[in-house]
Amino acid sequence: MNTSGLSPQEQAKKRAGYKAADYITNGMTVGLGTGSTVAFTMARLKERMTEEGLLIVGIPTSIQTTMRAGALGIPLIGLEQAEKIDITVDGADQIDPEMRLIKGRGAAHVRERIVADASTRLIIVADPSKICSHLTGPIPIEIIPFSFSHVIRRLNEMGGMVTVREGVKKDGPVISDNGNIILDYTPVSIPDPSALETAINMIPGVVSCGIFAEFTSKTTVIIGEESGPRIIGLP
């Protein structure tokens, strides 16, 4: 694996992403997460398709991933066409010691949650900076536009700080692939991620928040450390 020319962080992402591709076997349906670390997994899958004749189909979690898979020649199907998803490979923004996650910096966490829930196994790939002693936020939250003022009011009542995610090189808020608005919520603390996940998701108008606390029993985390990939959870 050639990592020359990459920054140390990108090298770490490549180690994790390439290792995740080793878990994929012939004939699998693979959920393809969104983000720069999963991009390395997809690149390695393309290499294996060329070198080994690996046959897979992917289910993308975003328009970005769809475009990336198309450029690599990875065949895709829709979620409705899949009888099952064998493995989903995805990234995370924070990972605590119990493998609970915060996701959604790429505004794709709603589709990522659906695909993760439909998967037999979830592999999370990350560089070491994503490991933390406890989740802190900010927590991405996708909301329907009509609920904007109501959701912000409810989050303010819960304490902490709420901001509307603004676009880069675009005036106004970030709009998800689903046509919704993305908020970023930093609570005072997160002593119980599962409880906070439920509380946020129960606010009318919230589509889904970026806390992923329900998938730990089927999760493997791969951290791309300098000495090699470190595996946490299921081998």
Supply 54's token pair.
């690996």
The answer to whether 92 is annotated as binding is yes
The answer to whether 36 is annotated as binding is yes
Is 214 in the active site?
Answer: no
The answer to whether 104 is annotated as binding is yes
Q: For residue 48, which amino acid is it? A: R
The values of phi and psi at residue 233, to 5°, are 90, -145
Chain-centroid distance of CA 196 in Å reads 19
The answer to whether 53 is annotated as binding is no
CA 141, 142, 145, 151 dihedral sign is negative
Q: Tell me if 114 sits within 8 A of 79, measured CB to CB.
A: yes
The answer to whether 103 is annotated as binding is yes
DSSP 166: B
The DSSP bridge pattern shows strands 211-212 and 219-225 to be: unpaired
Q: Which of 47, 80, 112, 214 is catalytic?
A: 112
The answer to whether 27 is annotated as binding is no
The answer to whether 17 is annotated as binding is no
Binding positions: 34-37, 90-93, 103-106, 130
User: Which active-site residues does the annotation give?
Assistant: 112
Binding positions for substrate: 34-37, 90-93, 103-106, 130
